[in-house]
Amino acid sequence: MADRIIPSPVQNPESEPFYAAAKEGKFMIRRCKDCSKPHWYPRALCPFCFGDTEWEAASGEGTIYSFSPMRRAGYTIAYVTLKEGPTMLTNILGDPDKLACGLPVKLQWTVTEDGTPVPTFAA
């Protein structure tokens, strides 16, 4: 994936704080103030109860829930369940033949075409 150019993410008022923190190397998720459930993708309203949410630092640790090597394209797309609970769609860096569901992974920032970092993971 190192030679693949990743398009820059579209930012909006809800996601701007995430990308600002990402530029400082901080991985943030949102948690509901009412039901206390964490979620991914960051949004102002909780997808479970529509309550207000707040930012919190995440560990950047998770496990592979499911993955699919895109061999011709040269990357692996995966669902990673974060240590904090939410499952996110992302890319896994490294040899897809060494991946397995349940394998622990750790966050690695990947820079997009405009320099904005996006979360990817490596085993």
pLDDT tens, position by position, 10-63: 999 989 999 999 999 999 999 999 999 999 998 999 999 999 999 999 999 999
Q: What local confidence, expressed as pLDDT, does residue 4 receive? A: 72
In a domain? residue 97: yes
In a domain? residue 3: no
In a domain? residue 88: yes
In a domain? residue 5: no
User: At 96, is the pLDDT very low, low, confident or very high (cuts 50, 70, 90)?
Assistant: very high
In a domain? residue 101: yes
Domain interval for residue 45: 16-122
In a domain? residue 113: yes
What is the secondary structure of 27-81 as a DSSP string?
A: -EEEEETTT--EESS--SB-TTT--BEEEEE---EEEEEEEEEETTTTEEEEEEE
Q: What is the pLDDT of residues 66-93, one digit of tens each?
A: 999 999 888 999 999 999 999 999 999 9
Longest CA–CA span in the chain (Å) reads: 45
Indicate the pTM of the whole model.
0.91
Q: What local confidence, expressed as pLDDT, does residue 3 receive? A: 65
Structurally, the chain folds into a number of domains equal to: 1
In a domain? residue 8: no
Burial class (CB in 10 A: 0-12, 13-18, 19+), 7: exposed
